[in-house]
Amino acid sequence: MQDIIDSSVVENENAARLTGLNRDYAALGDKLGRRGVSIDAIRDKVAAFGIAIPSWGVGTGGTRFARFPGPGEPRDIFDKIEDCAVIDQLTCATPRISLHIPWDKADPQALKEAASRFGLGFDAINSNTFQDQPGQRRSYKFGSLSHTDAATRQQAVEHNLECIEIGKAIGSKALTVWIGDGSNFPGQSDFARAFDRYLGSMKAVYAALPEDWRVFTEHKMYEPAFYSTVVQDWGTNYLIAKELGPKAYCLVDLGHHAPNVNIEMIVSRLIQFGKLGGFHFNDSKYGDDDLDAGSIDPYRLFLVFNELVEAERREAPGFQPAHMLDQSHNVTDPIESLMVSAGEVRRAYAQALLVDRQALAEAQEANDALMASEALKAAFRTDVEPILASARLKAGGAVDPVAAYRASGYRRKVAEKRPATEGSGGGIV
Ligand SMILES: [Mn+2]
């Protein structure tokens, strides 16, 4: 397996941090040991927790106002795969890439070879019927899978079928469908008829799924349509999964909810009824998926993971969620943001593993609200960084991925061979 960052850079950076890490790990291990928790067992679970990188995430994102690209932007999917390989080499947390079609369209064999050089595989494949592509016969301006015109719906269905074929060739096991369909004016769209048309289209997509595949539908409350969207919330998403059948699951993008919505409770409901397919992790202050995971509300991320760990512990039927980042890196180096974000997701997982579940259950049974809350807070307050760093080090990664990345000069080196990209125009990520 090929390394992109020179291993001597990583070794030097790690050597400078090794003594401190060992002391911190021993101190935390001692503290957890007094509670009957094995730090090594927690570290091994964290080390086995993988998060997929979306191919589009390694390019600088933007808004509809502007995009400000950085140096060395990836030119194509093969550059993106190399950037993803850097992230995985240093974090040892991101072994799979999630492709987006048609943005990443290339010879499937070449894609497989490029990824496997770095020990990477492919996660869910993403279809795109929210924008028009050059030469496309029919426009998605007024929708795709729910369009009033049958031929436009058929075109959108066929695109999803093509995504499944590409996915089969590269080893994906799931299709993620997010649509931009909706309306901007009250009365513009008949809610029920649009949803009927969407379900009809998705049934045709579902019928083409291979036996061992799953389809994830992703809800979003607004944008690009600003009055209504066809798949607006988890309730509609659940109806879709129920209508389609056992291979259909709901995908929860943390940013796609109204402010203050209790997302961890949605997660619990979907787990309880066997329809949680996976996540797009990110954070948001006002709306959508613009910010890095854990950057605004790490406690909420932890509360989501509290539900996931509980489901894992009780072996909830059908519980096999996919984990992916989906965020827009507008002002940072995307590689750095993705490394830090993968760490934040693992941090929430590690903290959730530390919840004293017996104490929590007892407090719940006794209606002791304060101690129930404290059971969660005690785990959340634990600084698990030594566990995360040790998991990376043991797997051959960097104790401090951002420091190793900066020391490597990777961005400067790729900027020499990748020409600067245009900064103007809106940036969809
Ligand atoms: Mn998403």
Q: What is the pLDDT of residues 55-81, one digit of tens each?
A: 999 999 998 899 999 999 999 999 999
pLDDT exceeds 80 at position 422: no
Kindly state the helix (H) or strand (E) to which residue 94 belongs, with its residue range. none
CA proximity to 345, closest of 396, 292, 392: 292
CA proximity to 214, closest of 243, 159, 177: 177
Distance, in Å, from the CA atom of 305 to the CA atom of 298, rounded to the nearest integer, reads 11
Centre of ligand 1 from the C-alpha of residue 72, in Å:
25
CB-CB contact of 341 with 292 (8 Å): yes
The pLDDT assigned to 276 comes to 98
- Roughly what angle, to the nearest 10 degrees, separates helices 108-116 and 77-91? 30
Centre of ligand 1 from the C-alpha of residue 138, in Å:
25
CA proximity to 179, closest of 224, 125, 135, 134: 224
Centre of ligand 1 from the C-alpha of residue 281, in Å:
8
Centre of ligand 1 from the C-alpha of residue 69, in Å:
21
Centre of ligand 1 from the C-alpha of residue 218, in Å:
7
Centre of ligand 1 from the C-alpha of residue 15, in Å:
38
**Which of helix, strand or coil describes residue 326?**
coil
Centre of ligand 1 from the C-alpha of residue 325, in Å:
8
How distant is the alpha carbon of residue 247 from its chain centre? 20
The pLDDT assigned to 426 comes to 43
Centre of ligand 1 from the C-alpha of residue 317, in Å:
25
The pLDDT assigned to 425 comes to 45
Tokens of 22: 């060992």
- Roughly what angle, to the nearest 10 degrees, separates helices 385-394 and 39-47? 60
pLDDT exceeds 90 at position 256: yes
What Rg, from alpha-carbon coordinates, does the chain have?
22
pLDDT exceeds 80 at position 371: yes
Centre of ligand 1 from the C-alpha of residue 220, in Å:
8
Centre of ligand 1 from the C-alpha of residue 40, in Å:
33
CB-CB contact of 301 with 294 (8 Å): yes
Centre of ligand 1 from the C-alpha of residue 217, in Å:
10
Distance, in Å, from the CA atom of 82 to the CA atom of 78, rounded to the nearest integer, reads 6
Share of the chain above pLDDT 70, in %: 98
Centre of ligand 1 from the C-alpha of residue 326, in Å:
5
Centre of ligand 1 from the C-alpha of residue 257, in Å:
11
CA atoms within 13 A on the CB side of 327: 34
Centre of ligand 1 from the C-alpha of residue 258, in Å:
15
What number is the average pLDDT over the span 107-121? 97
Q: Quick check: pTM over 0.95? A: yes
Kindly state the helix (H) or strand (E) to which residue 52 belongs, with its residue range. none
Centre of ligand 1 from the C-alpha of residue 329, in Å:
14
Centre of ligand 1 from the C-alpha of residue 252, in Å:
8
Read out DSSP for 64-84? SS-B---TT---SHHHHHHHH
Q: What is the pLDDT of residues 4-30, one digit of tens each?
A: 999 999 999 999 999 999 999 999 999
Distance, in Å, from the CA atom of 269 to the CA atom of 251, rounded to the nearest integer, reads 13
Centre of ligand 1 from the C-alpha of residue 374, in Å:
32
* Helix spans in 97-190 (H): 108-116, 150-170
Centre of ligand 1 from the C-alpha of residue 126, in Å:
10
Residue 120 CB neighbour total at 10 angstroms: 22
Q: What is the pLDDT of residues 126-138, one digit of tens each?
A: 999 999 999 999 9
**Which of helix, strand or coil describes residue 359?**
helix
CA proximity to 45, closest of 307, 325, 387: 387
Centre of ligand 1 from the C-alpha of residue 316, in Å:
24
Residues 6+ apart with CB under 8 A from 335: 58, 83, 86, 87, 405, 410, 411
Centre of ligand 1 from the C-alpha of residue 420, in Å:
27
Residue type, position 388, single letter: L
Centre of ligand 1 from the C-alpha of residue 314, in Å:
28
Centre of ligand 1 from the C-alpha of residue 352, in Å:
23
Phi, psi at 427, each rounded to 5°: -120, 110
Centre of ligand 1 from the C-alpha of residue 113, in Å:
27
Centre of ligand 1 from the C-alpha of residue 1, in Å:
30
Centre of ligand 1 from the C-alpha of residue 153, in Å:
22
Phi, psi at 62, each rounded to 5°: -170, -175
pLDDT band at 421; cut points 50, 70, 90: confident
Please state, rounded to an integer, the average pLDDT across all residues of the chain.
96
pLDDT exceeds 50 at position 428: no
Ion ligand 1: protein residues whose beta carbon lies under 5 Å: 253, 280, 326
pLDDT exceeds 60 at position 311: yes
Centre of ligand 1 from the C-alpha of residue 373, in Å:
30
The pLDDT assigned to 289 comes to 65
Output the CA–CA distances (angstroms, integers) from residue 167 to 101, 123, 243, 298, in the order listed.
10, 9, 24, 33
Centre of ligand 1 from the C-alpha of residue 251, in Å:
8
The pLDDT assigned to 429 comes to 41
Q: What is the pLDDT of residues 178-230, one digit of tens each?
A: 999 999 999 999 999 999 999 999 999 999 999 999 999 999 999 999 999 99
Residue listed under structure tokens 């301006």: 141
Centre of ligand 1 from the C-alpha of residue 322, in Å:
12
How distant is the alpha carbon of residue 142 from its chain centre? 28
The pLDDT assigned to 290 comes to 82
Distance, in Å, from the CA atom of 61 to the CA atom of 67, rounded to the nearest integer, reads 6
Residues 6+ apart with CB under 8 A from 141: 132
Distance, in Å, from the CA atom of 412 to the CA atom of 421, rounded to the nearest integer, reads 15
The pLDDT assigned to 423 comes to 60
Q: What is the pLDDT of residues 350-359, one digit of tens each?
A: 999 999 999 9
CA proximity to 389, closest of 24, 8, 35: 24
What number is the average pLDDT over the span 156-162? 98
